[in-house]
Amino acid sequence: MSLIYDTAIAIYVAIIRIAALFNPKARQWVVGRKHIFRKIKVALNGNTSPVIWVHCASLGEFEQGRPVIEAIREQHPDTKIFLTFFSPSGFEIRKNYQGADYIFYLPADMPYNASRFIRLVSPSLVVIVKYEFWFNYLHLLRREQIPTLIISAIFRPSQHFFRWYGGWFRKNLRGISHFFVQSDQSAQLLRSIGIAQVTVSGDTRFDRVAAIAEKCKSFPLIEQYRGNGRLFLAGSTWPADEELIKTLCQSNQGFKYIIAPHEVHEEHIRYIEQLFGGQCIRYSKATPENISKTNILIIDSIGILSNLYQYAYIAYIGGAFGKGLHNILEAATFGKPVIFGPNYTKFKEAVDLVELGGVFSIHNAGELIHTANQLSMDETVYMKASGQCSGYVALMRGATSLILLEIHKHLSLKR
pLDDT at 17: 94
Q: Is 192 helix (H, G, I), strand (E, B) or coil?
A: helix
Sort 271 into a burial class: Cβ within 10 Å, 0-12 / 13-18 / 19+. Answer: middle
Nearest partner of 139 among 164, 166, 118, 162, judged by Cα? 118
The secondary structure of residue 291, as a DSSP letter, is G
Q: Where are the domains of the chain?
A: 2-202+398-414, 213-395
pLDDT at 153: 93
* 0.75 surpassed by pTM: yes
Q: Give dist(CA 134, CA 117) in Å, integer.
A: 13
CATH number of 213-395: 3.40.50.2000
Nearest partner of 177 among 157, 198, 152, judged by Cα? 198
47, amino acid identity:
N
Q: Cα dist. 284→269, 300, 302, 320 in Å?
A: 12, 7, 11, 27
Q: Give dist(CA 210, CA 314) in Å, integer.
A: 18
Per-residue burial over 215-252, b = 16 or more CB atoms within 10 Å of its CB, e = otherwise:
ebeebeebeebbeeebbbbbbbbbeebbebbbebbeeb
Q: Give dist(CA 358, CA 273) in Å, integer.
A: 31
Q: Cα dist. 81→43, 122, 222, 398, 410 in Å?
A: 12, 12, 35, 22, 15
pLDDT at 353: 97
pLDDT at 356: 96
The secondary structure of residue 285, as a DSSP letter, is G
Fold agreement between 2-202+398-414 and 213-395? yes
> Using N-to-C axis directions, what is the helix angle for 135-143 and 111-121, rounded to 10°?
50
Sequential pLDDT tens for the chain (415 residues): 888 999 999 999 999 999 999 998 999 999 999 999 999 999 999 888 999 999 999 988 998 999 999 999 999 999 999 999 999 989 998 999 999 999 999 999 999 999 999 999 999 999 999 888 999 999 999 999 999 999 999 999 999 999 999 999 998 898 899 999 998 999 999 999 999 999 999 999 999 999 889 988 999 999 999 999 999 999 999 999 999 999 999 887 789 999 999 988 899 999 999 998 877 999 999 999 998 888 899 999 888 999 999 999 999 999 999 988 999 999 999 999 999 999 999 888 999 999 999 999 999 999 999 999 999 999 999 999 999 999 999 999 999 999 999 999 888 766 5
pLDDT at 294: 86
Written as one string, the DSSP assignment of 342-393 is S--TT-HHHHHHHHHTSEEE-SSHHHHHHHHHHHHH-HHHHHHHHHHHHHHH
Written as one string, the DSSP assignment of 129-144 is ES----HHHHHHHHHT
Helix or strand run (H / E) with residue 238: none
Nearest partner of 238 among 361, 307, 305, 321, judged by Cα? 321
| Backbone φ and ψ of 34, nearest 5° | -70, 130
Residues in Cβ contact with 304 at an 8 Å cutoff, skipping those fewer than 6 apart: 217, 219
> Any idea which fold 2-202+398-414 has?
Rossmann fold (3.40.50)
pLDDT at 308: 97
